[in-house]
Chains A and B, each alone.
Chain A
Amino acid sequence: MPGVEYVNVWKYYGGKPVVKGVNLSVKEGEVRVLLGPNGSGKSTLFKMSIGIVRPEQGAVKVDGVNPAEDPISARRIVGYVPEDPLVYESLEVTEYLEFLLSVYGVRPPRERFAAVIKALGLEEHVGKLVGELSHGNKRKVMLAAIMLRDPQVLVLDEAFSGLDVGSARAVKTWLREKAASGSAVLVSTHILPIAEAIADRITIIYEGRIVAEGTPEELRSLEGGKELEDIYLKLTGYSSEVEELVKALAT
């Protein structure tokens, strides 16, 4: 049974399709990276995994649970981190973590808490109000909550956005280790080297449709060994015409 499964999923906003018949499955023990330009439907797909967005057609399953029908169970299964930090600005970092862990009924040991905070470089910030933190640190706090919770299915939207080098390394290592221990990991990022480094398989989505899928090597072989960036740009509409326009802007 796959950890996350999208079967012929369609979604419309204002009559316009934003997700068009997506079929995607992330198996246990796999890190799947979803690549695509802004507005290509990645976040919409991710939100479906916890039932915040419901597909008009098709079905989503997380560990056999349909989030559209049973969002509460899906939210218990999935560790979801959205693109924008969802925080209480007036709570201290520890209070925020305590609240989230209480909701999930998770009591992490003291050592685990210390390790997560250290790994993400949050030692100096745990006593601060979340509202006093930078965007990157707010994202780290959300990631810390997920790391402490330790769910079996991970869905991370723009997982590395705003992270410093050390924290990004920590998250990369953690995701790989999670997959190695049998978790299903679905991640989106705009940082292609990170995608190549952590992905078992990469899916490229453009205008709501999957346009390529495979291991990093398989994708590179599509264009005779070109770099992933070139393949990605070619598949997502970044033409030589745009390149010329940008050059003209600079001069």
Chain B
Amino acid sequence: MLKSMTLEIAKNLTKEVTFRGFRGVSASAFTPVAKSSRGKVSVSIVKSNVLGAIFYSIVSFSASVPLGMATYAKVPAPEVFSVSLTVLVGFAFALSLMQVTPFTSTFIREGLVDLLRLLPLTDSQILKAYLTALFLYWGGLSLAFIFVPFFIVSAYVAIQGFLPGTYVLLGLLAALATFAFSYSLGIALGSYSYAVRRRASLRVASTVAWLVSFMMMFLLYRASSIMMEAAKSLEPVLSTWGALIPFVGPLFTLPNPLLTLASLGESAVLVAVAYLLARRRISAVFLGGAEFAAVKAVPTKKVRVGEAGLSVSGLTWSMVRKDLKLLSREPRRLANMLFLVVLPIIMSVPTASSSNLMARYSTYMVFFMASFLGAFSGLASDNVFYVEGSGALLLYHLPISKRDVALAKALTCSLITAPISVAVVAGTSLYLTGSPALTLYAAGVTALLNVGFSLLNSSVTTSMLPDTPSEWSEYSFRGSMSTRFARTVVKLTILGVGVGVPIVLMLLAPFLGASLTMTEAILTAYALASLAAGLTFLHVAAGRKPL
């Protein structure tokens, strides 16, 4: 009876968190529970975990392939095991945080904890329902599959005599400690969601943490090789200082029992601290009433009404200012947006700075980076729409046109993304060519492309928004299947042009015998064309129609 009640509450809790998460500003692509196009949320233990389990198993199996090779090739199994496990531990840590933190944040911020407290439930029943929701219905089970195939392969390699059993045992401990640590930390961080909106320092920290998590996910495919290289060059350091690496440290210091013990102790302390922090937050926020804890934790800004006036600005700037404030208070959205700026940077800067390239193609490389970073970062404007969440309902009641919305969103996007892209391009240009004139030109092209693609993308997104008052999230696009398909094609075309043209242009230009002047002219034309296309779409796709 009690068991089924806990499961029932946990299931409905998950539904509610999913619904409110998608509705509100905390929507993210990382929610393990899907919402149908009709807005229905269907939750079951299998549905919530099966896709994750398959995906993580593939990742885990891929990471264990080099280890499996130890049975027939001359591969040092302990080193490979340690490095692969370190990658998986990092992956598990990032993913656990990305699952637990938003769930807890929505749970508290949306007052769901207060709803549960209205029911005749004891504190431990509430806690049990919350944890059940997290582990069973929010994809917690699937996370275990990050390690399952890896440890199966490890056990096989150990049985074959290529890997000492101690490694497998310490690896298992590391995996368990990682989950204990990241779950506890995720609960504690999620419980501070009220404070995050209020305190600038926490917002910055949270944005950076999300950005790092997104980057870790992206870099996963390269993580093993990077780690392997790093492990080789850092071998002497790792055997001593490696003890400091949480959870996996003992694997690097195994021959030295004292260091291994110290490393194990450090991991135990980390887990204990995170656990105690989570317990403190649970008893303060979950069981002491969220409102009470929130009021206690978040000092209210004092405003003296008689002295303070209201700062009223023009329509577009007021919308931009509002969007900047919303983004600054939603770290995950902001991180999502910044990731689209960072992504082309981490994709292109290593190539640009490679010594082979510098000599011959440095100028072409600068042109490529200017066009690639400029266009790609302009595509981040969708996040400025999604940050509206339920607040978008208000916009439908205001005397504003679709064009006003598209313009404001594009400007917000450019204000955030263009300075970063321009700075990176300018820095790389100066490093590669040392020419201030070329750097100025590249910076200008980057800025033009950023604004052009931002306008283009915002206008298309605005034309896809629901006609009737709606909340805005990734699920807000209206229309029939065919309309949605057509618009997806338009979006992908913009993406393809934005990313593909610069690549083709700059990679082929030197081989086709195009002079620098000609390439410069083509690039200028491309940048101006993108701006013209952006402005045209702003007038045609967004238009003067009311929202």
Residue of B nearest to A67 (CB): B546
A89-111 interface bits toward B, Cβ cutoff 8 Å, 1 = contact, 0 = none: 11110110111111111111110
Is A211 interfacial (CB-CB < 8 Å)?
no
- Distance A87 CA – B298 CA, assembled complex (angstroms): 20
Stretch from A3-11, A120-128, A173-181, A235-243 contacting the other chain: A120-128
Distance of A139 Cα from B394 Cα, bound (Å): 13
CA distance A127 to B489 in the complex (A): 45
Q: Is B311 interfacial (CB-CB < 8 Å)?
A: yes
With A72-B546, A80-B397 already in contact, the answer to whether A94 and B310 are too (CB < 8 A) is: yes
Q: Is A194 an interface residue (CB 8 A)?
A: no
Residues of chain B within 8 A of A106, CB atoms compared: 312
Measured in the bound complex, the distance between the Cα atoms of B313 and A81 in whole Å is 22
| CB–CB A52/B397 < 8 A | yes
| Chain B residue contacts of A123, Cβ below 8 A | 305
| CB neighbors of A among B323-337 (8 A) | 325-326, 329-330
Q: Which of A50, A92, A117, A127 contacts B397 (CB 8 A)?
A: A50
The secondary structure that dominates the B interface is loop
Give the residues in chain A near B302, CB-CB below 8 Å.
127
The minimal Cβ–Cβ distance linking B472 to chain A, given in whole angstroms, is 12
Query: How close is B383's CB to chain A, nearest CB, in angstroms?
Result: 14
Interface residues of B in 285-327 (CB under 8 A from A): 294, 298, 300-303, 305-306, 308-315, 317-319, 321-322, 325-326
Contact A94 B322 (CB under 8 A): no
Contact present for A82 and B300 (CB under 8 Å): no
- Residues of A at the B interface (CB closer than 8 Å) are 50-52, 71-73, 75-76, 80, 82, 86-92, 94-95, 97-110, 113-114, 117-118, 123, 126-129, 131-132, 148
* 8 Å CB contact of B310 from A51, A71, A101: A101
Task: Assess the B305–A113 pair: CB atoms within 8 A.
Answer: yes
Residues A88 and B391 in contact, CB atoms below 8 Å apart: yes
Smallest Cβ distance from B233 to chain A, in angstroms?
A: 45
In contact, A105 and B315 (Cβ under 8 angstroms):
yes
Determine whether the beta carbon of B399 is less than 8 Å from that of A103.
Answer: yes
Given contacts A88-B326, A95-B325, contact A102 B398 (CB under 8 A): no
The docked-state distance in angstroms from the alpha carbon of A131 to that of B325 is 14
* Option from B25, B294, B301 in Cβ contact (under 8 Å) with A127: B301
Which chain B residues have a beta carbon within 8 Å of chain A's beta carbons?
24-25, 109, 194, 197-198, 294, 298, 300-303, 305-306, 308-315, 317-319, 321-322, 325-326, 329-330, 390-391, 393-394, 396-401, 468-469, 546
Contact A75 B391 (CB under 8 A): no
Q: In the complex, what distance in Å separates the CA atom of A71 from the CA atom of B401?
A: 10
What is the minimal beta-carbon distance from B289 to any residue of chain A, in angstroms? Answer: 14
Q: Given the complex, which residues of B lie within 8 Å of A117, measured CB to CB?
A: 305
| A98, B294: Cβ atoms closer than 8 Å | no
Q: Are A103 and B305 in contact (CB under 8 A)?
A: no
Q: Which residues of B contact A103 (CB under 8 A)?
A: 315, 318-319, 398-400
- Cα separation A107 to B322 with both chains bound (whole Å): 17
B393 near A86: Cβ-Cβ < 8 Å = yes
Give Cα A92–Cα B302 distance, bound, in whole angstroms: 11
Chain A residues with CB below 8 A from B397, complex form = 50, 52, 75, 80, 82, 86
* A91-B326, A127-B301 given; A102·B394 CB < 8 A: no
Closest CB pairs A-B (n = 8): A102-B318, A127-B301, A75-B399, A88-B391, A86-B394, A110-B309, A127-B303, A90-B329
A142 CB, nearest partner CB in chain B, Å: 9
